Structures are given as C-alpha cells and as structure tokens.
Amino acid sequence: MATTSTQKNPSKRSREEEMEQTPLNCQIPVPKPAIYPNEMYLCRRDEYHDMINHHKAIFYTLAAPRAAEVTVGHALESVFVRVRTWATMSGKGESLSHLADSDKQAIIASLDEYCTMLKQFICTKFIDSPFWFMDGKINATDSEPQSDFHKRFQYVYERLLQVSREDAAWWRSINVGKLNDEPCVMNNIPPTPVGRNTIKHRTALVKTYTDELMRSRLFQLLLRDPMTKYKRSQRKSSLRLLLESAAQTVIHGDGGLYGNMNIVRLPDLPKFNHWSGQTIVHPFHAGFEPVEGSRVLIVTRPSYSYIDIISLKHFCTVPPYMVNRAEVLDTVGMDKEEGDSQEDDDTEENADPVRDLPPLRETIWRQ
C-alpha cells in the first residue's frame, strides 16, 4: 500500500494542518474608493451616496408637491383683480378735491411708491414679511405670542441669504410650507397639529389686520360715505375674505416654489421698456400707448418673481420665474433722452424680447 509524504513525516503533517487552521497574520488589501461623476467635480463613493441621501431627504420632506408656477401667477393676478373690484365698489367715485392739502400729502406719503393702500397693505403684511404667521410662543401653554417674532425670524433669513441664497430659499420654503400644512382634498390627508395651530393663528391675524386697515384714518378718507350698518359689515367682511385669499396665495407660492422673492418697484423701473418683458401698461393708457424709453410715473402694481429656485431633480438651480409683470403709468409723448432716434426704435422693435431680470438690489426687501 502506497504511503504519502505526509504519512511518512507526521511533523510535516501537523505543521500543514496548523497553517490551515490558523489564519495568516496579514492585512487583506482594501480596494481604492471608486470615483463617481458629479456636476462640478469627481467625488468618492461615500460622498456620492451622501449627496443621493440628501437629495432623497429633500424630496421626501417636501411640505407639499412643487407648486405649479402658472397656478401661482394666476392666483396672484386674481388677487389684484379682486383688489381693483373692491376699491371700485367701496372707494369714493368722485374727485378728492374736497380733501385738505395736508390730507392729500399724507395719503401720497403713506403709499410709499405704491398706487393703492390696499395693494401696499398686502405687500407689506404678506409679501415683504414671509414669516408673518408665526406666533413666537415659548411652549404650547404660552398665551402671549410675540407680535414681532416674525421680524427676528426674518433677520435670520436675511443673514442666511448672505451665506447661500439657495440654502436660504430652501430653508424659507420648508418653514413656510411645513408650518402651514393643510388638509388635501385629493388624497384625504389630515392637517398636521402644527398646521392646525398656524391656520388658527393666521385666521385671527387676518381679522386683526382687517380691523387695523378699516380703522386707518387715511384709508377712511378714500372710502364711500357712511352707509347702513349692514352694508358696512358686508364691506368689512369682503375685505377680510380678500386679505385671506391674498395671504393664502402668497403662502402657496412661498411654500411651494422653493425660491427667494424679488420685488421690482418704481426705483427699479425709471423708463418704460416693452421688450424687456418686465412691464405692462395700465388700462388707462388705452389708445395712448407710451413710447419706448418714456419715463415711468407710477407703478400701480410691482413685479414679483422667484429667484434662486431649487431644482428637485438635479443639484442645481432653475431659471427665475416672473409671477407677474409690473403695471405702470408712463408719460405719453417724446419723453426720451437726447440722442435717441427713430432708428433706435425700429431696431428695438425688431429685436427679440429680452427675458432677463433686472440686476438685483442690495436687498430683496423694502428700501
């Protein structure tokens, strides 16, 4: 019977068995991290996975699906139409020549570059102050909310803008959207507890704002003469519904478009330029259209646009979205700079429309 070498040498067999049972005292080589492409640079596998997880977190923490830009624009346009209708029905239809000069000057000064007090009120309360609905309570049992808390919160937001405009836009929309969660009729989602509390506080604030506006002496000067008690109540009720609609529209855009609001007022529009896509003329201009380069006298409605909009599909921003164009009243006639000629008008008229937004001011807030 043949014997193997291991059987002939037991010591050799024991050494081989020991080597098989005892692992080698050496490190297994670790493969180098893979390189993945990004939009701006190459990154490691762990960095790439972190970005993907962050993207998923962004997608799944949305307060609501992305708001449709066209819907936001149409809703804001509807608010302006209701403002004009309410002012026509409730305002004085006759001349205001009976007012004292001091009252006229006070009314003009209070408008602060706006055309109507109601539009100014909506912009000041809801658009310029995106966190107006916050109560600033310390805890759930706090019965004394801080009326100026939203200003402190806004200051934090403005500081974030100086660091990263995109992160500030995301932070702003998440806060506005999550704090104003409302029930969805389509999928029967109930409102969140924080959403119920915010809506309750928001409704009370709108009532307070309505009382504040109706008690304004200058605002009263522009309303019709005293009516019956029923009609006064009806007028106040319709104003409250108008303010609630405006507040809901602004919250829908701020919480659903994930961008920063940019407002273009009279100082940003020294001259009329139809081809810029930033302005439209007021209906009072019917039959007397202003010429290109004419001086803008009044901005009856500012231009609102969202910038620094965060993309939910890529790690980048999307182009600005202009919610509505500024409505202006201009001088009619040859109110142009010296050296302008008819050839310039022909060239401008045949040129393609320019859709770029004007240069940003130092701040997006009121000056």
pLDDT one-digit tens code per residue, 292-302: 777 887 788 88
Q: Which of 258, 290, 324 is the last residue of a domain?
A: 258
Specify whether 44 is located in the same domain as 104.
no
> Is residue 223 a part of any domain in this protein?
yes
The pLDDT, as a whole number, for residue 349 is 45
pLDDT < 50 regions, the chain: 22, 63, 184-187, 333-367
Length of the chain: 367
> Is residue 56 a part of any domain in this protein?
yes
pTM: 0.71
> Is residue 156 a part of any domain in this protein?
yes
User: CB neighbours of 148 closer than 8 A, spacing ≥ 6?
Assistant: 136
Specify whether 83 is located in the same domain as 218.
yes
Give the domain extent around 339. 260-367
Greatest alpha-carbon span in the chain: 134
The token pair that represents 235 in the structure block: 């007028």
Specify whether 253 is located in the same domain as 264.
no
> Is residue 82 a part of any domain in this protein?
yes
Tokens 């080597």 identify what position?
19
Question: CA triplet 58, 173, 257: central angle to 5 degrees?
Answer: 85
The pLDDT, as a whole number, for residue 187 is 47
Specify whether 199 is located in the same domain as 309.
no
The pLDDT, as a whole number, for residue 12 is 52
pLDDT in tens, 257-293: 889 998 888 778 778 777 777 787 777 766 677 777 7
Q: Which of 228, 258, 288 is the last residue of a domain?
A: 258
For 193, phi and psi rounded to 5 degrees? Answer: -55, -40
The pLDDT, as a whole number, for residue 182 is 63
**Distance between alpha carbon 264 and the CA centroid of its chain, in Å?**
14
* Closest residue by Cα to residue 121 from 206, 226, 223: 206
> Are the beta carbons of 111 and 101 closer than 8 angstroms?
no
Count other Cβ atoms within 10 Å, centred on residue 188. 7
Number of domains into which the chain is organized: 3
User: CB neighbours of 199 closer than 8 A, spacing ≥ 6?
Assistant: 180, 182, 191
Tokens 């504040």 identify what position?
212
